[in-house]
Amino acid sequence: MTTTFRVTSALAAGVIGVLLLAGCGSPQAGAGTSVPIGTTVAGTVPATGTAVPPTAVPPTGVPPTDQPTLVPPTVGTGSDATPPPTDGPRPGATPLLWLTSGPGLYCDTRGTLVPQLVVYSDFSVLQVEDGIGAHCESVPTVSTGWIQRRVVAAAISRFHDQGLAGVDLRLTNVMDAGTAFISLAEGDVTQVASVYALGLDVDVPADQVAARAAVQQIYDDLTAGFQRTGDWTPDQLTVNPSSTVTEGTAVPAWPSVKPGSDCQVVPEADVPAVLRANGDRTAGASWKVGGRTVDLALGLVLPGFVACAPVVGG
């Protein structure tokens, strides 16, 4: 999976400098895990109400003392860092760099697409282990962990050096393949690179070879650098209309608020019951709702992302 972007040298120096100094850029005070509405996404025009994860770098002129304190893992020379807590990113940590895989035509992901790997501003990581959140797949399981600061700094350097910001690499000789995305939060802008049919053994234009190789290397380095520490327990789900359902399985009663005709959030207190009732069925499945059988799809919402809003880069 791959994505491409172009970023100014000033931005590159600023972000990488933050990563290599004693602390990572802290999020704006009070940002928490909420996502501001209307943030600019480089190379795209966001729809009204589309939210993107907040900045991972403090805004210019805001004193560091006014920022929440994040304690990123200590990177020792040739040694492993101290891992963050095993239950996910710390309070106040925000998405910094994330990889997303868009499907081909094989399965629906409306309202349920989830990033494959998210690096947070405290260098904690969430990685989806099985699937991309498609309706025809099981609800994904997610691992918690961390990554060394230098690995992230190298990935961001490669992203900038290869001019990947805003790149959209397409192919006319391949059909039904997926698209790989890399999203990088810098200040109030999220840089997004997209690569169609990344990693497939197909002919690509000569002017795409270097960029595709850079995107693939970023994917490989981040996934290889992920240090797993445990399992992440979902605390937020969405429920969405679906046309992709499990065949030949028992149809359980829907154990939460009656779903509507569009994406909606499952109350946090009901999340365990919904997952339990769905069992090992696919995310898209049939439920009994008020005496009727309704086809619904469950979607995970990772910390720092807005429920029922498109995943940036996805």
pLDDT value for 203? 86
pLDDT value for 309? 87
Domain boundaries, the chain: 4-232, 237-300
Q: How far is CA 63 from the centre of its chain?
A: 29
pLDDT value for 176? 75
User: What pTM was computed for the model?
Assistant: 0.74
Instruction: Yes or no: say if 126 and 53 are a contact pair by the CB < 8 Å rule.
Output: no
pLDDT value for 41? 38
Mean pLDDT by 10 residues, the chain (314 residues): 35 41 34 31 36 35 31 38 70 94 79 94 93 90 94 96 92 82 91 89 88 95 95 94 72 94 94 95 92 93 91 57
